[in-house]
Structure 1
């Protein structure tokens, strides 16, 4: 199979879909790999590294002629125009809040498998997890920067100092993002509370981290109580494939401290705050009713080398399987990979995505036989 890896063109996106190590593995299996010139530079991989691994360095036109395109972020409009019928796209998609992307992918006739809906035997999301870990660990860091007075925040230091209390941080969601965010925020000296709807998950967190942060049930009343006293609120909720629920309304902002910060890690799925809108690393924050919002849609891109290697460790077995078997045989052999199928030949093939967009859908099993 011919596999193409383009340079990411989303604003300030420095990650790359394939590492040189991945190229070596693919070439050793008999595949041809085309890397767009300069694709790995943002993550610290030179073109020479890819050539040594067995890839050819080409232009964007040649890359998009490949049988399978491996990316990081969802294809931008100019990239979607290059996709064709029968081509396989393997990347993050986050279609639920993005009807324009969905329409373009449907019109292209391509087959698109989304990292974020591939599952594992435990019900986890193995290709989302590494970037969730990165984003979770980044969230308190960017939130602390946003809290600085020069950036519009309250001017509160996360860990305080002797005689002055630390920041109060609320994390909504106790999954991968929320757990990592809470650990880092607590490590910075903040007083942290994690909210979740799952009592078993709250018990796990309490058993493991009770000395580091507190847990509360994510009722509407508890959310309202905690955000009113918080210096920072981190949104870390996820419904696989679907749009994120809106857990903090604009009216709720009036109850918050002026200059408090909202960090919406769920922004890729539409965000969990009513006032969230996607931002970029060039212009990451904005203010609504005196509350600072940080809503960068590709947070892990800020630490591109760590993120690229972590993502590559997770995606490589699936890339190899798709290349060796073709997408249909690979999905028949691996039901968890089949859960990643979002688009095929002009049809939506993921129920949560279809429901979020109000569209019809076809079950992957009906296509695979």
Structure 2
């Protein structure tokens, strides 16, 4: 089939999941493409004064033009005034659509690659109005509202998980694109002072951090450090201030524990391979990209899904990992406590010493099962599906 795109084509990337988007963008770069537009927000949390990790990361790449956009979320919120909130958000979507429409008429992109999220909706609408082809990728086990809507407009819908329902021929199983940095240990800056007799615990709430998880860790940190070395990604929210709290706690620790508690607001591409590959246990939310990376690397994890995620998508992601045997789910409800988390960490340590994860199967058997359940070349597959369409 004749190639419709060539290395001079302008590609627009938009969506709420940065890691797979960067992985696919890197695949295009590897094949000679160099003209990119990234549509995203500058801040990821209302009231946050620090630019988002996405904005900071993309702005450093001279081959990418970062176009800042805001839009509304078409979901029920605002309590008894939810209808007013819905109308307000709908108006924001319309305004965003008009803004993108004007931008596209001036910049003339060749294709739009969407990675889900509310911000991608007006972009997809504007693209189709100008007959610009749209492709979208769904990261979660259960597709959300945004991608369900965008799928109507898209030429192809790429899905990550074998259990995701396919709705016709244009729904294609490609796997979830994984950033190459995940597999490469480039540094030892995180772990150089660690006690080699203790396993390494990685705590992360994703790019934005998790105030819930951070507070659980803070509460039992001394006891946790008696059993683990700890790498803690707190997020950079100026609303919760967790990063500064963690640094303050670190300063007040005994010297021996202080060097074994490493704090980052965000673990960048130079350190992420070290953090993931050297960790023995991971405490995390259950975002699709994080869970996929844990499964590919065969990492024992404790997952605390966000309870208000659309269609309970984080719970479904976590259940997939739990069925394989790599994950233990702790639900965020009235039973969740720092004591419960600590008890599970101690059990995880005992299981690791016995060569197991959360089941009685040997750890290497579970890791093999995990890797066999996933597609590992998703970036290449998506590139070929788009370029050769």
TM over 0.5: no
Greater RCO (Cα-Cα under 8 Å, separation 6 or more): 1
Q: Please tell me the TM-score bracket, short chain as reference.
A: 0.3 to 0.5
Q: TM-score, normalised by structure 1?
A: 0.35
Q: TM-score, normalised by structure 2?
A: 0.34
